[in-house]
Each structure stands twice: as C-alpha cells, then as structure tokens.
Structure 1
Amino acid sequence: MKKLKKDKLDNNQTIKKDTDVVKLIRKANRLVEGKYRFDIWEMRVFTKMLMKIHRDDEDFKVYRIYLHEVIQDFELQEDGHSYKFLKQGAERLGRREIRVLMDTPDGKMELFTHIATGVKSFVEEKTAKYLDISFHPDMKPYLLQLQSQFLMYDVRNILKLQSSFSIRIYELLKQYETIGKRTLKVQELKEMLDVVDKYPLYGNFKQRVIVKAQEDLEKFTDIKFTFDEVKSGRAVTGLVFWIIPNREKQDSGNLLYLPEVASTIVEDTDQEISQLLTLTQRWEGVSKTVVEQWRNVYGFETVLAQIKKTNKQISEGKKIHNPMGFVVWSLQNPEITGNVAEPVSKIETPVKEEPKYTSKQINFYWNGEFANWFVIYLQNLAINCEKVLYHKKVDELRATYSEKLFNNLFMFNDGSVNEESLNSSVGIKLLETEQKSKENIFQEWFWNKFQVRILQQRSGDWKAQ
C-alpha cells in the first residue's frame, strides 16, 4: 500500500501515481450529510462535475462533460444510447433539490436549493460528444475553498459502484474512518438518502440499501463495514456501523490511501485530540469523546505514551484483541504496567490501611461480588472484541453444542438472541484464546478494589499479602 505525502497534492487535486492520474473529490461534511437522492446517471454527472473543480477555484465555472470520459471512467459500454442517458441524467440533476444544514450568526438554518443549473446539450444525440453544466451558486460554501470539516477521497473508490445509495453510504462512513464507528438512527439515515417514502419498511431498506452497500464497498472500495441493529422493543431504530480498512483493496495498489489528508470530523483546533485519534484510528470503539476523557483524566503525555506503547506491541506481534480496553486497563493500573504517571484529575480518596482478610472473607468476594463483576467483564470483553473474532467464537460455540442445546442456551422462545448469555460465553472463549486464567483476573480485581495482593494456596484458600 502506497501512502501519499502532502507535497504531492497539487492545486488541481490531481496526483500522479505511477502511470495513472488520480482525482480526489472534496466536499463539505454538511453536503455529505445533506438530504437528497440521485439516480445512478445523476450521480455520474455530479461526480464528473466534482472532478473538474480545482482546489483554488473561487467561483464555479461551466463544466464540460465529455461522453467518452464518462464511458471510460465508469467502465460503461457504448450502446448508442449513452448520450441520451447522460443528457437525461444532467437534466434531472438540474431539477434536483437538496436540503443542507448551514451555520449562521443566529443559529443553524436549513438551505433548500437546486444543485445544478444551466444544462446545455445537443439536439442530435447520435453525433453528440459533450454537454455543459454548472453548479448552483448556493452550493459554493460546500464545494469551494474548503479549509476544514470536509471529506476527500480517491474518486476511483466509487466509479464502479452501480448504486447511488452505496456511494452515499461510502461517503457517510468514510467521514468516520479514523474513528472506526458511526451510529445513525434509521429515520435519520432514511432522511439523508431521501427514501422515507421509498422504503417505509425496515426489512426492505436493510436489504436494498444497507446490505447492498455492504457488498459493494467490500468488493470495490478502500473500506468495508459490519453493522449492528439497535432496537426499541422489536423495532430496529438505529444502526451501529463498524468501519474496517479494506486491506485487500488498499494493498492492491489500485486505490490510493490518504491517511495524511483523509477527512476527519475533528477540527484542527485541538491538535492533541487529533494526534490521539490518528494513532488509534484502527481501534474499534475509540471516539473523540473517549480520547478526550483519557487526556482530561491522565494527561496528554501519559495517554500518548501508552497508545504508542500499545501500537508498538501490536506491530511486534503481540495479540491484543481489544487495544482500547488494554489502554484503559494500563492507565488504571500504573503499578502493574509500569505506567508511573498518576492521573492529573484523579479523585482524591482516603488512604486505607492495609486490611487483613481471612480466607472466608476472601472467598466471599470470589463467589459473590467478584462473580457478579466477572460476568459483566466477560460480556464487555465480547462486545468490545473485533467483530470477525466475535463471530468466530460464536461459530465455535455452535460447533460445541447441538443446535437444540445452543438454541436453549442462547436464544429466547421468540427467536431473538439472548445477548447477555451469548456474550458471557463468547467472553469465556476469548479468555481461553488469551490464556488468561480467572484466578489471575481475580487477583488483579482484588488489587484494584482493596490495594491488597492475594495468593492462592495449594489448599485452594486465599490469603492477603
């Protein structure tokens, strides 16, 4: 996988990569999240227009869209009707309206405007070679002179996508690529894609939009995703997208990966947060809020050092299935990890004298309080693990039990999954993979709770040390 240095990006947003010429698309995040719907030919005209905008343009121009470029870029077959489709797509785009949020001194407003204007095309379609079109002036803040809060990506990621919805999903997830997770309400996503009336039933929306996009992105783009459904009762009301680098496509050399200039939802005003997010962009579950909490509690330098240390261990081959959880545990246990820095905003608690616990008292914590905590620990371990690993462990459970027993243990009578029971069992499987015994975890838990080290004797009893 080849990475791009900033100095190779010229004002035309064109990058020379070997013998190819790569075009980068830039659009404001607000436009990415706007409410509109294109068909595939409208999207192709729109994409070609975006490719013709120069980075330093201060105003829109009349953009000439050549038919042979469209056929070449989108790998289409010339069948004698291509210009007709191109012309009709441009005219529909000229009539298309969009709703986009905008900031004003008096608060947020919604802009309702046309996208394109001034379509000029040939009457005689058989000999026609191009058409002219321009953007509506109201689109300027979302496409020109972008300094922050914008999305930029290699246009070749979307050229082979045959669904405009797949392209929209790609852009919405690409915004959050460095974070690795995006949560959207189903109604919110339907409104963005303008399909509230088209797909009123969630089942149709899921299959024709979400699952279709999932297949398309994995096949053609530099990212892929899995998703979880958020339910209110039996109804699916939200979706959690887990965004994963598509290493096969990135490493093929056919697509350009741009970590230095990739879009981020974090503004450059907080360089510390941006740096921490960049270093953890491949970690599942990490968000701006999470790293802000780490920095505020433990200090930037301490968090930075622990993240770098964790990444180094991963690069050296250590299996850390949940880097985020590992960092949290390391920050919370400086005595064990050698992380000598103390939290900068740690709540002061009275210093306890070292208690002396009898074997009977310690066994109470083992069988009572710790047992309850351990179940929650296993559930969180399963929830925060990599999705691929999670499903692998579920498959191991299915292979271990008969189908009837598996359903009795992990399914409710109505056919829904008993997530609490399943996650606990998956957590046990993960512990087996990590070869970390329950006794070792209890010793760590006991130390964190009472600041007392305990040892298990051969008799099976525990004693304080």
Structure 2
Amino acid sequence: MKRSNVVQPYDLESINIKNWVTKSNILIESTYKLSLQEQRILLIMASKVQPNDETLKTYRFRAKDFIEIVGNRKGTGFYSYLKEIVNGLQTKVLTIKEKGRQRNYNWVITSIYEENEGYITLQFHPSLKYLFLELKEKFTSYQLENVVRLNSVYSIRIYELLKQYERLRKRELTLEELRHFLAIEPTKYKQYGHFKSKVLAVAQKEINNKTDIRFEFVEIKTGRKVTSIEFIIDSSPTLNGVSSVKEKEPKLNQPPLELTDNEKENRLQYELVSLGVKPEKIEWVLSEFTKEQVERNIKYTQDRLITGDITHPHSYVIKSIQKDYAKASQESKIIKPKKPIRKELVPDFIKNADNNQQIFENSTLQEKQKLFLGENGTQKDFEEILIRIRELKKKLVLNSKEPTKEEVEKAHELAMKEVLQNMKKDLKKRQEVGLEPRLVNDFENKELQKIYKSFLQSQTSSEV
C-alpha cells in the first residue's frame, strides 16, 4: 500500500452503471472469495475495460464516487473503510484451473489511496489480460447496473453463472459445483435447508427483482437427498427498478445521465462483440451506419437469439443492420397489427369454416398461406409457443414440491407430449385449408427441428 501526494499521470475516470462488463467464462467459473465491497470495486474496474484496449490500464477515481456503490460499514469513517478495502485487494487471490494446472493470481498489481486528494488508483494484474481482453468466444457480457444493485456476494456470482447460460434458458449444477463456484467453506451451510434459505432464496429474490434476468429452480434428488439444482432462466424485458422492489434501494436507482457519444459507441462495441462479430466488422459497421440503426438491429437480433430463432448471430446481426430488419419489422406491425396468437393454435377462420370455406376454395396457395399466417402468426410465433408450452408444462408439474429424478423425467415426458399434441393440431389445421406441412428446415430452433422431424416420420408411419 503506497501513499502519494503527487498527482498521478492518469486520467480521472467516472463511474457509469450503464457501462458493460465483459468477462471470459473461465473467470466466471473460477474460484475466489471476496467481500461485497471488494466485488463492487473490481466490477467497476471491469466496466472501464474497453474492447479495443491493448493492455489492462490503470484507472484513477474520486473516492467519493465509490460511496453510494461500495457502501460503508457501520461505526467506520467511509474514507478509512475504503482505504482498508483498497489495501486488502492486493492480498486477495484468484484461482484458475486450466488443463490440469492450478494458477493463483493477485487481482490487482497497483492500489494507491491518495488520502489528502481523495483519489484511488487501481490496476488489474497484467496476467489477467486474457480474461478481459481479446475475447473471441466463450465470454459473457452484462451491464454494470445489474450487479451493483445486488447486496449479496452469492447473488452476484449466481447472476453471472446464469447470465452465461441465458441463451440456453437453463443450467444444471450439482450442489458441490455450486458451492465450489461460490467459494462456500465446507463447514458453512452444511444443511441443504440453510443453503437454500441463505443462498438460493436470497439470490432468487434479488436477481428476479433487480436484474435483466429471472430464474426458478428445481431441486434434483438422489434418493431423498438434494444433489443438484436445475435453474430455469428467463430474460426480463427491463430492469424492474425501485417501483417493484419493496426494500429500500440505494440512490443508484436515480435516472442515469444521458450517455455520451463515446459511451454509446463503447456499448455498441461490447454488444457486437458479445454476438461474435469480428473487430474489423465492428469498425466498418460503426463507420457505415448510424448508431440508432445499429442499436435497434442489435436489439432485434438479441431478441431473436433469446427465442432460439437464429443460430449464427454474428452474421445475422450484420445482415440485419445492413437491411435494417428492425425498422422493417416495426413498419409491418404499424401497417397490419398482428393478431394475438391463440394458445391452442386453432385459428378462428377454421372454427368458423362455414363463413371462410369459400374464401379458401377460391384462393391461391399464396393467399391461403397469407390468411393462415394472419390468424396464426409467423413460424417464429409458432416456435415461441411450443417453447413456452414445454417450459410451462414442466413448471406446473414440478411446482411446489421436491421432485425425485424420476418425477423430473416424467415432467420432461409430459412437456414433450404437450408439444407433439400442438404440432399435431397445427398439421391438421393446415391440411384442412389445403396447405402442406411445415418443413423441418423452417424451424430455427435445433431441438424443435429434431422433434418435428420425428413427428412427421411418425405421421408417415401411421398413414402407411
């Protein structure tokens, strides 16, 4: 720990909770033990790392800017407490296990607290560069505001572990793996009931109320003992903020300042990187198209990725920006608002066949297809319904109990049966109006492709 009265040659950094944090998945699945305040300081540092940085830079902050984010310990002067945290950071160790080797790193190589001036200077250890920079694949990005609102170190770690699997919508971890990731000592929360109430329940409440994802969890048992947890992950459309959080929130929830052009560009860079776009493509996109066009098409691509409609986001987002799919989609909704999709997938025009039969008899195949889609929605809508039906069925079966492994398998089986029934209804209605079955390749979701292919084969076999 060094004390310096000399002004350091580093630019003064601001703290913006809208900045993005991008980490290698290796780091997210590593083992380390930090206090909540230490976690927040390191996350603030991580939010300053830019995708085009060549090295991990040194950052200098005003001490007072940390006050509302880091928090304070009762009975301790804030500046003394912050000095203690900054000093302690240099002793904290990160453990990384790769290819049979265990490596231990210090988090920071430089930590200077300028008491008289009220500044803090921090720098990540250079050896951590590969965990924050030049990330081509296997990384996770999220906005800083999602984690600085959380008041438990376990909530922060669980958020990252689930955010990593947000696209897949679920993640299963053994209790042993989860305790390892969270760095919980063997003697702490030994009884599962304590672990559930002190770790899982707290994280669920915080993450569901304060972040951009939500989760439910299913307890998987071996015999009578809970041995694994299956997390079911959903994306929240917006941060819920103060209005949906009953406990008192820190002043962080005040409306953030308008982002500068540089901050907007940095955010777009991070989002494009997270979709797998190469640096040279990012540079071209940001110079060729307006930030507004890039931003809305990134969001359009992310929405389609969440629902499993696309499998190659790095190429799709570029095409989307070029052709401005997002704007075209918005305009089509204005011209012709999409009618709500019926859960049972039975369109009104089929129910009222007497009034519509002549229309279909006198229509071309293209017109039939258009009318059918107008009542039922698009292929994407159909896939979304099947996915929702499957997940909802499993939740209903497993709700409010501690299922055995056999019960979990039974829930999956019932969910699959429900999906197949809806595919059968859809096929029947298409045949009634003279349309061919959907093609397997029409499905973007790979799992639904397999299910639908098997379904069509079973229909062919039954007809023979």
Q: TM-score range by the shorter chain?
A: 0.5 to 0.7
C-alpha spacing 1:421/1:24, structure 2 compared with 1 (3 Å): closer
In structure 2, the residue matched to 1:240 is 230
In structure 2, the residue matched to 1:41 is 37
Using the aligned pairs only, state the percent identity.
Answer: 25
Bigger fraction of residues in helix: 2
2: CA distance between counterparts of 1:417 and 1:218? 29
In structure 2, the residue matched to 1:144 is 133
In structure 2, the residue matched to 1:6 is none
8 Å CA contact retained: 2:173, 2:228:
yes
1:217 to 207, 221, 246: 207
Give the 3-state SS of the residue equivalent to 2:18 in structure 1.
strand
Say if 2:53 is the partner of 1:57: yes
In structure 2, the residue matched to 1:297 is none
1: CA distance between counterparts of 2:456 and 2:96? 53
2: CA distance between counterparts of 1:391 and 1:181? 13
Letter in 2 for 1:152: S
1: CA distance between counterparts of 2:63 and 2:182? 27
Shift of 1:134: 2.0
Shift of 1:316: 5.0
1:282 to 306, 311, 314: 306
TM-score w.r.t. length of structure 1: 0.55
8 Å CA contact retained: 2:219, 2:402:
no
Runs of 5+ consecutive residues of structure 2 not aligned to the other structure? 1-12, 244-252, 279-300, 313-332, 346-368, 370-384, 430-436, 438-453
2: CA distance between counterparts of 1:319 and 1:77? 54
State the Cα deviation string for residues 279-327 of structure 1 (Å, max 9, x = none).
Answer: 76434xx799xx79xxxxxxxxxxxxxxxxxxx9x975324699xxxxx
In structure 2, the residue matched to 1:120 is 112
In structure 2, the residue matched to 1:201 is 191
2: CA distance between counterparts of 1:194 and 1:201? 16
Letter in 2 for 1:211: A
Letter in 2 for 1:43: Q
C-alpha spacing 1:180/1:428, structure 2 compared with 1 (3 Å): closer
Shift of 1:200: 3.4
C-alpha spacing 1:262/1:79, structure 2 compared with 1 (3 Å): farther
Give the 3-state SS of the residue equivalent to 2:193 in structure 1.
helix
Letter in 1 for 2:239: K
C-alpha spacing 1:427/1:70, structure 2 compared with 1 (3 Å): same
Taking the TM superposition and a 5 Å limit, the aligned residue runs for 1:2-81 are 22-73=18-69, 81=77
C-alpha spacing 1:250/1:34, structure 2 compared with 1 (3 Å): same
Higher alpha-carbon deviation: 241-250 or 179-188: 241-250
Taking the TM superposition and a 5 Å limit, the aligned residue runs for 1:53-452 are 53-73=49-69, 81-102=77-98, 107=99, 109-121=101-113, 129-197=118-186, 198-249=188-239, 262=271, 281-283=305-307, 316-319=339-342, 385=389, 387=391, 391=395, 448-449=457-458, 451=460
Shift of 1:120: 2.5
Shift of 1:209: 1.7
2: CA distance between counterparts of 1:385 and 1:195? 36
Shift of 1:62: 3.2
State the Cα deviation string for residues 389-418 of structure 1 (Å, max 9, x = none).
Answer: 6556788xx9xxxxxxxxxxx999xx9995
1: CA distance between counterparts of 2:38 and 2:93? 12
State the Cα deviation string for residues 389-448 of structure 1 (Å, max 9, x = none).
Answer: 6556788xx9xxxxxxxxxxx999xx99956777888899999999969x99xxx99985
8 Å CA contact retained: 2:20, 2:270:
no
8 Å CA contact retained: 2:390, 2:415:
no
State the Cα deviation string for residues 200-256 of structure 1 (Å, max 9, x = none).
Answer: 333322222222111111111111111122222222222221111122527999799
Letter in 2 for 1:199: Y
1: CA distance between counterparts of 2:193 and 2:402? 21
Shift of 1:43: 0.8
Runs of 5+ consecutive residues of structure 1 not aligned to the other structure? 1-12, 270-276, 293-311, 323-337, 339-380, 399-409, 455-463
